[in-house]
Structure 1
Amino acid sequence: MADTAAAQEFDILILGGGSGGYAAALRAVQLGFTVGLIEKGKLGGTCLHNGCIPTKALLHSAEVADTARSSEKYGIKATFESIDMPAVNAYKDGIIAGKYKGLQGLIKSKGITVIEGAGKLTSTTTVDVDGTSYTGKNIILATGSYSRTLPGLEIGGKVINSDHALTMDTLPKKAIVLGGGVIGCEFASVWKSFGVDVTIIEGLPSLVANEDATIIKAFERAYKKRGINFNTGTFFEKVEQNDDGVVVTLADGKTFEADLMLVAVGRGPVTEGLGYEEAGVTIDRGFVITDERLHTGVGNIYAVGDIVPGLQLAHRGFQQGIFVAEEIAGLKPVIVEDINIPKVTYSEPEIASVGLTEKAAKEKLGEDKVLTQEYNLAGNGKTSILGSAGLVKLVSEKDGPVIGVHMIGTRMGEQIGEAQLIVNWEAYPEDVAQLIHAHPTQNEALGEAHLALAGKALHG
């Protein structure tokens, strides 16, 4: 990290150096602003050090483990020995270290002043950092999120959160994951590939409940096939620790035993004790309330990322950071609604989606105004080569644009780039149908699905 600031007045003062904060800083200096970036931990925030990057590194190790076990299916005779967790962690930590060093160098090269320490908003134009006051003509709040737990459920001993799960040097034989959302399902996927007996406990009726119903069904079938157990529709009641591990009791009295329990019930905004409310910023359930242009309604204070209600995704925070820098510069950037931000669950199989689900589209437009189209990946050559399965589902307005793309399968997250362009640019099925998709790729599935929706299905 760069040396503590010598200057104390900036055009833009940013509280938080995670995805939203550093993106705002980089774009702001491009636009000619002086920038002070305050960070009490490490530049890159949760995404780089405790979230996106380390979990995806573990997921890649998990994919390698699965491939090694099934290598004979591909004509390769190999022996799978074991999971070496210290070595897995060394690989993961090496990725993080490289990205961290690169980010530090980039921030320094752009002339951004990094202010090390814990910042607190003291007025609409000032932030105190460990006793030193810094002034910003504009202030961006970007303090990120923390791993939440449930009321009365304490983290400790054999009850861990995602931060602990990322640094484990030994694996449990049996684990319970409390929470069937993205984080819980990703860790369950990793641990199953590493040989752990995993059970997911989810109070909602299904896993990954915010996804399209067709995708949810396919995902749950895939997890059952992999041997990942899950109990949905009944809420957690309590957990007891003993010498052997944990005993989890649900509201219906059902119990589960394991070596440990991972609490993965979402993330909460980091806003408490930072002076936001005292400065006049509206806080609701810990979140900073803004208008659609991310202004708090107080002075020249903006907020970005996980502290703003909505999707808690690193790329959302990154985009919002750029947006606010351009907003301050008077460039009038285009608003991107949360529904049009791509989402990926990086499990095996992966879920990738953007836009409205079939249910949401019908609620918004009416039953007779929505068309859907599914393409089974069994017909895709590259998917067969990978030994995978899955589907692409399109949701469109009748005689109108595509308003939702939902995909499931191995590495399908890599296809979300085109999908988000289709939805955000309001492409019609026939617009995409005429595009050429390279063969053999899984990307062809998007093309085939749009051919079918445009009435030009060649397969099936």
Structure 2
Amino acid sequence: MSDSDAQAADLVILGGGSGGYACALRAAELGLSVVLIEKDKLGGTCLHRGCIPTKALLHAAEVADHARDGAKIGIRSSLDGVDMAGVNSYKDGVVGRLHKGLQNLVASRGISVVDGAGTLEGPGVVRVGDRRYTGRNVVLATGSYARSLPGLELGERIVSSDGAISLDEVPDRVVVLGGGVIGVEFASVWRSFGAEVTVVEALPRLVPAEDEFCSTQLERAFRRRRIATRTGVRLEKATRTGDTVTVSLESGEEIEADLLLVAVGRGPNTTGHGFAEAGVPTDGGFVTVDERLRTGLDGVYAVGDVTPGLQLAHRGFAHGIFVAEDVAGLDPLPVADDGVPRITYCDPEIASVGLTEAAARERHGEVHTLTYDLAGNGKSQILRTSGAVKLVAAGPPGGGGAVVGVHMVGSRVGELVGEAQLIYNWEALPADVAALVHAHPTQSEALGEAHLALAGKPLHTHG
């Protein structure tokens, strides 16, 4: 076909996941014509194989814990097993309803959705099958995939997170390879469902991207939950024999399990789409972009997991909205990873925004910290959760420096990160937050109490 036969639009978006569809929706809202190309399902990994189904599993796990532990608060309840068919039906129902809603929303905005695998042929040109789509601008939003390790063949007993969300039974014994976000979330689910769980992490601590305080709190909680951990040790090999898999570590230890989850992170989905052939610059597989998410190819942007940095759905949303507004000439502010909230939905949850203490010292030199134990928070006592809030502030104690990091561990603390991101992104001083009124009894009071103490006027703490 000739280029004159190609369908033209203001924006051609390659990938209909979090970054891609957010970009499409905002662009259409701003009056731009949009072609959105997706080879699988709108919503991408987050909706179908990541955020939504895993959090549905985590909620089912929470209900299982409540049923098992009801007697501790005077409720006569018990856990009479986990019906994985029922759990999967609940999970799939949530995904299905959200998928249908997204399809209707995209259709209502007049966005042209193309089913198929797209290939970038050059600036402004994407081919799907034998048809070309031309755009004044092109957005690369092809997402990420579950990484594995050399020598590990995925199958019935060795699975990635893609396979782990659809198990038809609860394994009795599980080894989770990788102690990052994905690994500790699945470890938490399976322990709540009754499995024996061992987490193996090559780095010295769990959730190594978080502040060391969070790692210490989580490891302590996992010990209480009888989730075994092996940190600072690497996998040597995994051997399948019948219905079991033997995990051999470089330390010489062997662990026999019914299932091995490979949760060693996610890689950028940048091969097979013509990026290299079209001249898109990459580094380590990730698309190289400037702060305005422009690639080295004229008129071509990249958003979400294909770019270096945090691999989070809401970062992808923010990237997509930014590019749509940039193309429309609104001159939006760039998205800074430090200001993006991060949540790990294991039990207990981890929520953070801003800099770790170590990163803050590198950037600001002198810093000071304050840790508020949730034992002093009424709602946390009601929820029977333990944990703490750690604040990192720039400058010396008493100097009134801005809060540059907020790190929280405890049940449901993910719901507090909305306020925490405002504190960080608006460069709030401890005294600014201390002056705010936090409703009682809520866990949000823990943030307020921590800032009162940091401002030099502790209420329920000794300072």
Where on the TM-score scale, by shorter chain, does this alignment land: which range? over 0.9
2:157 maps to what in 1? Answer: 158
Write out aligned runs for 1:364-443 (5 A).
364-366=363-365, 369-398=366-395, 399-443=400-444
> Alpha-carbon deviation of 1:7?
7.9
1:322 maps to what in 2? Answer: 321
Three-state SS of the structure 2 residue aligned to 1:26 is helix
> Alpha-carbon deviation of 1:358?
1.1
Write out aligned runs for 1:1-80 (5 A).
8-80=7-79
> Alpha-carbon deviation of 1:356?
0.7
Three-state SS of the structure 2 residue aligned to 1:309 is coil
Inter-partner Cα distance in structure 2 for 1:108 and 1:82? 42
Three-state SS of the structure 2 residue aligned to 1:93 is helix
**Which amino acid is 1:451 matched to?**
L
Contact conserved, 2:200 with 2:229, CA < 8 A, in 1?
yes
Post-superposition CA distance 1:87-117 (Å, at most 9, x none): 0000000000000010000000010110111
> Alpha-carbon deviation of 1:157?
3.0
**Which amino acid is 2:370 matched to?**
Q
2:134 maps to what in 1? Answer: 135
Match status 1:102 vs 2:101: yes
Inter-partner Cα distance in structure 1 for 2:34 and 2:6? 10
Post-superposition CA distance 1:213-242 (Å, at most 9, x none): 112111100001000001000111111110
> Alpha-carbon deviation of 1:336?
2.5
Inter-partner Cα distance in structure 2 for 1:365 and 1:126? 45
> Alpha-carbon deviation of 1:179?
0.3
Inter-partner Cα distance in structure 2 for 1:201 and 1:75? 37
Write out aligned runs for 1:61-460 (5 A).
61-366=60-365, 369-398=366-395, 399-460=400-461
> Alpha-carbon deviation of 1:48?
0.3
**Which amino acid is 1:373 matched to?**
L
**Which amino acid is 1:68 matched to?**
A
Contact conserved, 2:148 with 2:264, CA < 8 A, in 1?
yes
Three-state SS of the structure 1 residue aligned to 2:119 is strand
Inter-partner Cα distance in structure 2 for 1:7 and 1:197? 56
Inter-partner Cα distance in structure 2 for 1:69 and 1:7? 60
> Alpha-carbon deviation of 1:210?
1.2
Three-state SS of the structure 1 residue aligned to 2:207 is coil
Inter-partner Cα distance in structure 2 for 1:63 and 1:135? 48
Inter-partner Cα distance in structure 1 for 2:77 and 2:411? 22
Contact conserved, 2:69 with 2:78, CA < 8 A, in 1?
no
Three-state SS of the structure 2 residue aligned to 1:336 is coil
Inter-partner Cα distance in structure 1 for 2:170 and 2:410? 27
Three-state SS of the structure 2 residue aligned to 1:438 is coil
Inter-partner Cα distance in structure 1 for 2:429 and 2:266? 36
Corresponding residue pairs, total:
453
> Alpha-carbon deviation of 1:80?
2.0
> Alpha-carbon deviation of 1:244?
3.9
Contact conserved, 2:161 with 2:261, CA < 8 A, in 1?
yes
Post-superposition CA distance 1:26-55 (Å, at most 9, x none): 110111100000001000000000000000
Inter-partner Cα distance in structure 2 for 1:32 and 1:62? 44
Three-state SS of the structure 2 residue aligned to 1:278 is helix
RMSD: 1.0
- Give the structure-1-normalised TM-score: 0.97
Inter-partner Cα distance in structure 2 for 1:115 and 1:80? 46
Identity rate, percent = 60
**Which amino acid is 2:287 matched to?**
V
> Alpha-carbon deviation of 1:18?
0.3
Inter-partner Cα distance in structure 2 for 1:159 and 1:445? 41
Inter-partner Cα distance in structure 2 for 1:11 and 1:337? 26
> Alpha-carbon deviation of 1:340?
1.5
Inter-partner Cα distance in structure 1 for 2:362 and 2:137? 40
Post-superposition CA distance 1:307-349 (Å, at most 9, x none): 0010000000000000001111121111231122110000000
Three-state SS of the structure 2 residue aligned to 1:316 is helix
Structure 1 unmatched ranges of 5 or more: 1-5
Inter-partner Cα distance in structure 2 for 1:373 and 1:285? 38
Inter-partner Cα distance in structure 2 for 1:414 and 1:163? 26
Inter-partner Cα distance in structure 1 for 2:315 and 2:150? 28
1:3 maps to what in 2? Answer: none
Structure 2 unmatched ranges of 5 or more: none
Three-state SS of the structure 1 residue aligned to 2:276 is coil
